[in-house]
Amino acid sequence: MKVGITGHQRLESEDAWEWVQQELEQIFQDDSAVPVEAYSSLAIGADQRFALVAIDRGAKLHVIVPCSEYEGTFTTQDDLGKYLYLISKASTVDLLDYPKPSEDAFMAAGKKIIDTVDLLVAVWNGEEAPGTGGTDDAVAYALNQRTPIIHLNPVTKTVRRLPNQGTQRRNRT
């Protein structure tokens, strides 16, 4: 099974991140009988936490890097260090053809993940983002593609499967 992530980079409290961490671990535990491949762009926050849980559980990590200058988006040494560590653990790294960080590059990375996976995990407060390429856009695209979604809402601390609109889902390669 191929599982991808989209989600917030920052949450208001460490308690919310602890809850997200527990839920991510549960997702991988629930699917422990199925070989898992994890897809992430390794942004700070939800992406990196997802990737760490995935490799800890023995999943193959596939990274979609949105642009050539992506490392410049990591503003702390700790965040950059986690990114470089996770890149070193990746089974594959796919660099998209964007030179600089942009909303278009981030949306393209999100679409590539969604177009590849069987299930998307969305760490999302349910609100609209101010720009293009945010978690809300990824969720909307996934719903349009009929990709099943596990929605982890870190504000309400609820988990739900978002509707799989339609009865037939196209095959993923």
d(CA 57, CA 74): 25
pTM: 0.88
Cα–Cα separations (whole angstroms), residue 8 to 11, 122, 135: 7, 9, 7
- Kindly report the number of other CB atoms within 10 A of residue 113's CB atom: 28
Cα–Cα separations (whole angstroms), residue 2 to 39, 64, 78, 90, 160: 7, 14, 28, 14, 19
Report pLDDT for 19: 85
Identity (one letter) of the amino acid at 38? Answer: A
Q: Could you report the per-residue pLDDT of 28-86, keeping only the tens digit for each?
A: 886 555 568 999 999 988 999 999 999 998 899 999 999 999 999 999 999 999 999 99
Report all structural domains of the chain as residue ranges with CATH numbers, in order of start: 2-162 (3.40.50.450)
d(CA 98, CA 134): 17
- pLDDT higher than 70, residue 140: yes
